[in-house]
Amino acid sequence: MLKTAKVFLIILALSIVNFVPLGAQHANEHISEEQETHTEESFNAGKFVIDHVSDAYDWHIASFGDKHISIPLPIILYSKNPDLHNGKGFHVFMSSKFHHGHSDYKGFRISHSEEFEGKIVELDAQGSEIGKPIDISITKTVAGIFASVVILFWIFLTVARNAKNNKGKAPSGLQNLFEPIIIFIRDEIAKEAIGEKEHERFMPFLLSLFFFILVNNFMGLIPIPPFGANVTGNIAVTMVLALFTFGVTTISGNKHYWKEIYNPDVPWWLKFPIPLMPIVELSGVITKPFVLMVRLYANMLAGHMIVTVFVSLIFIFTSLMGTAAGFGISPVSVAFSVFILLLDVLVSFIQAYVFTLLSALYFGMATSEHH
């Protein structure tokens, strides 16, 4: 039911975004040159949505006309053409030097071309783009990860200290909040999926995985720095998490696990002369982390996009029908946005739980004894 509702809302949101340029195009056939200039500067819903769910080189807070308020982040680049920079390869400066993408700095700029849209590119002596440097900058996503790690360290150290001080007593404070979750992960996920004998060695990884995903999911719902980064809606982050699970599964696999992949107990004609079943089993090993990666990424990205689309309804109606229409649609837009945010709170828990549960199931399959 939850999945069906979310799919419906995604289709509705995309339909609204696609309607805006279509309506604007139809209107352009009947307006004068002065109105055409105004239309070109009108609200672009698609760009608004993409900008808010994409990574960035600064932490945007608010905009007032042409003035932008943001927190600059460190830019760290290594030039592939040091001759253009007096032999200097490494360059470190703050993103404010780009003036929100409107200025060049030391032979670099944030590109607006179709090929490198939103990426830092290197410029030749004539100011033409010649390619991307090696970019290890602290983007909004990376800064969000650092912030979440600090929060996680604080949570775990506080809970551990309280558990030590309250030994033999009833838990209190943060320990009272997190201890039931930790026990749930141990008893209902790790023990059930991996087994009584093997589960303890996987508990640190499973707990780190669950709380990292959960904290970043929640942080992404709060639009105030250092929160608001769409960390788990970034496919690079979910790919790394899935690869961690894949790596632990591969390293932990016993001989029975690998036998079931390369020499499963099936009729011989499914293994020779064409190794059909080994191919199927091996493809399953490869697709498992891919499924983990896409599930978390798609669910969290969709939630952010839907909220942003409903917020953009205010600007869409203002652009098409005037200020009164924008004010009129505001209660509907805010109501739907709040509803989706509340839904995303539930989805945040579910996705952290599902990712952790599936990881535990893969570990259980890799370490189970042959019967």
- The answer to whether 315 touches 64, Cβ cutoff 8 Å, is no
Which one, of 204, 197, 157, 201, lies nearest residue 182 by Cα?
204
- The answer to whether 289 touches 242, Cβ cutoff 8 Å, is yes
- The answer to whether 45 touches 309, Cβ cutoff 8 Å, is yes
pLDDT score at 20: 46
Any residues with CB less than 8 A from the CB of 61 and at least 6 apart, and which?
A: 69, 70, 71, 225
Q: Which amino acid is at 347?
A: V
Q: Is 54 helix (H, G, I), strand (E, B) or coil?
A: coil
Instruction: Please work out, in degrees rounded to the nearest 5, the angle formed at the alpha carbon of residue 286 by the alpha carbons of 284 and 291.
Output: 85
Q: Is 104 helix (H, G, I), strand (E, B) or coil?
A: coil
pLDDT score at 6: 55
- The answer to whether 348 touches 78, Cβ cutoff 8 Å, is no
pLDDT score at 277: 85
Distance (Å) of CA 262 to CA 272, 285, 327, 362: 12, 11, 64, 17
Give the span between the Cα atoms of 121 and 98, in whole angstroms: 12
Q: Which amino acid is at 272?
A: F
Domain edges within the chain: 67-135, 140-367
DSSP string, 311-325: HHHHHHHHHHH-HHH
pTM for the complete prediction? Answer: 0.84
pLDDT score at 165: 85
The distance of Cα 9 from the centroid of its chain, to the nearest Å, equals: 19
pLDDT, averaged per 10 consecutive residues of the chain (371 residues), comes to 53 50 43 41 75 86 79 92 87 91 89 88 89 92 94 91 83 86 94 91 95 95 85 94 95 88 82 83 91 94 89 86 88 90 92 96 87 48
pLDDT score at 30: 42
Q: Across the strands, what pairs with 122?
A: 108, 131
pLDDT score at 108: 93
Q: In what order do the strands lie in the sheet with 90-94?
A: 90-94, 74-78, 134-135
- The answer to whether 229 touches 219, Cβ cutoff 8 Å, is yes
Q: Which amino acid is at 346?
A: L
pLDDT score at 323: 87
134-135 and 120-123 beta bridge pairing? unpaired
Q: Is 123 helix (H, G, I), strand (E, B) or coil?
A: strand
Q: Is 71 helix (H, G, I), strand (E, B) or coil?
A: strand
